[in-house]
Amino acid sequence: MIHNHFETERFDLLKDDSVTIAEYRFGHNRQGKRDVWIERGEKGERFLSQITFAGQALGVRKEIYTGRCYILREKTTSRYQFLDQNDCGFWLHSDTFSGARAFGGDESVRIQTWLTTAATKPPLLIRSHLS
């Protein structure tokens, strides 16, 4: 079994519970924006998202409930990634929420340590929402 390596130095942990991905491309050459936010409740946490384009809003997409959700921003590209944690470890999703990279075992412990450390740093200021 191949174990994934989570590149902690590649990301900033955002303190925000929501982000807007401007100039989001989807479908057959369509472009709009995608709002992504974290819903918290008795069942746990999950990511919700909605695409808006040309004055139309598509239905809200609801991901599965997990233990915790985190919004990350890639340092070099400013692209958003979405990390969730469940009993099996961590899952890293791109802005499309299509497929995910899984991290478990020792790598899961390393990610949790990074999240704890990153959470104590001052919050990042988001000046604009980039794709």
C-alpha 80/C-alpha 82 separation (Å) is 7
Record the tokens describing residue 84, joined without a space.
């969730």
In a domain, 124, yes or no: no
CA angle 103, 101, 19 (to 5 degrees): 105
Q: What is the pLDDT of residues 66-78, one digit of tens each?
A: 999 999 999 999 9
Domain that holds residue 15: 8-119
Q: What is the pLDDT of residues 75-121, one digit of tens each?
A: 999 999 999 999 999 999 999 998 899 999 999 999 999 999 888 77
- Residue 4 confidence (pLDDT): 80
In a domain, 3, yes or no: no
Cα→Cα distances 55→32, 52, 60, Å: 9, 7, 15
- Residue 53 confidence (pLDDT): 95
In a domain, 31, yes or no: yes
Amino acid found at 69:
C
User: Is residue 19 helix, strand or coil?
Assistant: strand
C-alpha 32/C-alpha 47 separation (Å) is 19
Number of domains in the chain: 1
- Residue 27 confidence (pLDDT): 87
In a domain, 96, yes or no: yes
In a domain, 130, yes or no: no
